[in-house]
Amino acid sequence: MDLVQPCDRVDCAAVTVTPTAPRAADAARNLDELRWEARLLALPEPFYARVAAEPLQSPYLVGFNPAAAELLGLHPAAASEADFVRAIAGARPIAGTDPVALRYSGHQFGVYVPQLGDGRALLLGEVVRDGPGPDGLRTEVQLKGSGRTPFSRGGDGRAVLRSTIREYLGCEAMHGLGVPTTRALAVVGSDERVMREGMETTAVLVRLASSHLRFGSFEMFARIGRPELVRALADFVLATQLPALAPGDYLGLLQEAVTRTAHMVAAWQAVGFTHGVMNSDNMSILGLTLDYGPFSFMEGFDMEHVPNHSDHEGRYAFGRQPGVALWNLGCLASALQSLLPPEVARPALASFAATFASAFEAHFQRKLGLAEWRGESDEILLRGLFRVLAAQQVDYPRFFRLLCDYPDAAALDALRGLMADPRGFDAWAEFYRERLVSEAARDADQRRAAMRAANPKYVLRGHLAERAIAQAQQHDFTEVDRLLHILAAPFDEQPEHAEYALPAPPGSEPVALSCSS
């Protein structure tokens, strides 16, 4: 596939469970009423450090996500309580929690960094709800931007409002698109300022996940020669996150990481998501999109698209993401060598290519509205489309959304209108029309409906996020709430919000992003 570019540094089915929402009468009205546990604390202290949050000054609520609150069994009315804001801001402890910062290392831009860790995040623990299985439904809750930890490396431990809003909206946008991801419950802000690329106000994000463990969690202890700690962590992941696998099935653990990561990155490519900083410490052991920094949803189609202006070599460009994912999985396999000799791990790593290709083809079969994937001939069709889009950097989400109504005359005119020179598109469109005709038995209206369910009308475009951030910096949070609502249903028409499906107005300044937060 032309959408998959190799990472020149390569050396070597995600399942989402949505718990039933609690009845309003049963939902907790306060964070203290939730049932908190901390299974991670069964691991020895080298894996974490106990830390108390540093209170934000004069905190206020920026955003609250009722859909994420359902995961915890938390009533939406909880957000209206001043005590909720104080708890998130670190001004008071939450009963039942035992906050810790996790220790890990990782490869950053291909270079190993011996110790990283949660330099500005605290894991409060797991919220447990009744559910299937002996362990119930469990969700880890983490505060991001909660102050200094032993792993802050001289930093202030704060997150800024700008990046916090981007992550809050970004991960919920990805969830709406069906991509495996961490979730976001709330953002609490403060007028307290810190220096980044300029003076910026601070904020705390409440992040949710089944687990926040990452590849770098294993790399840390393998690199310092502590195989017993690598084994302890692997056993913990098997017992708590992968209970379907047998105890001691370390190959199964690696295979799960490979399979889930392949599915995740295939979904990224399908929706045009570029992570921006795919360091191994930013890779989830469960194949969740983790650590939203300088990410973007690609607009003008460009295989070399790089949202992070700190990535001077384009290591994490859009088209290189599958290769980087495999490289990072190689780092994980290396960290597991005391449990899995290379010759045992190698077949699991080798399975990445086929798993990714299968998931990738399935996504684009749906996006193109094909009843089946016909191997090489459909690969030729898709490669031809990518060449057309890349030649003129056509708006990626708009093109595929308009394609849902092809070959209607109005849709064809709109698609041609996206091209400065439509001749290449015209030739491809005839090829595509013939391909659809060959499936004439399929009802056209059903095909269009299926394509609309695979091609979002709304993604988090850069100018939309910047507008919400600019208004939030003036204490107007209506646009943050509006975007959260729109992005929760990205495949719906939402005619009242049609302007949010459009690119930035002509002459708009491009959004520049970096790793600073």
How far apart are the C-alpha atoms of 509 and 514, rounded to whole Å?
16
How far apart are the C-alpha atoms of 269 and 508, rounded to whole Å?
26
Q: How far is CA 42 from CA 101, 240, 261, 286, 287, in A?
A: 15, 11, 27, 20, 23
Closest CA to 301 of 313, 317, 316: 317
Does residue 381 contact residue 435 with C-beta atoms inside 8 Å? yes
Is 426 labeled as catalytic in the residue annotation?
no
Closest CA to 99 of 185, 35, 168, 41: 41
Q: Which two tokens stand for residue 234?
A: 């692997």
Length of the chain: 517
Residue tagged 């005359």 (tokens): 409
Give the DSSP H/E element, type plus range, for residue 387: helix 376-392
DSSP secondary structure of 71-128: HHTB-GGGGGSHHHHHHHTTSSPPTT---EEEP--EEETTEEES----SSEEEEEEEE
How far apart are the C-alpha atoms of 269 and 259, rounded to whole Å?
16
How far apart are the C-alpha atoms of 321 and 303, rounded to whole Å?
10
How far apart are the C-alpha atoms of 274 and 104, rounded to whole Å?
24
How far apart are the C-alpha atoms of 117 and 46, rounded to whole Å?
11
Does residue 22 contact residue 81 with C-beta atoms inside 8 Å? no
Catalytic entry in 281, 291, 311, 395: 281
Does residue 148 contact residue 155 with C-beta atoms inside 8 Å? yes
Bridge partners of 201, per DSSP, are: 193
Bridge partners of 195, per DSSP, are: 199
Q: Mapped to the 3 state alphabet, what secondary structure does 293-362 carry?
A: CCCEECCECCCCCCCECCCCCCCCCHHHHHHHHHHHHHHHHHHCCCCCCHHHHHHHHHHHHHHHHHHHHH
Does residue 50 contact residue 100 with C-beta atoms inside 8 Å? yes
Bridge partners of 206, per DSSP, are: 143, 186
Give the DSSP H/E element, type plus range, for residue 467: helix 462-472
Closest CA to 237 of 223, 219, 254: 254
> Residue 517 in 3-state DSSP?
coil
Decide: residue 199, CB within 10 A, 0-12 exposed, 13-18 middle, 19+ buried: exposed
Catalytic residues: 281
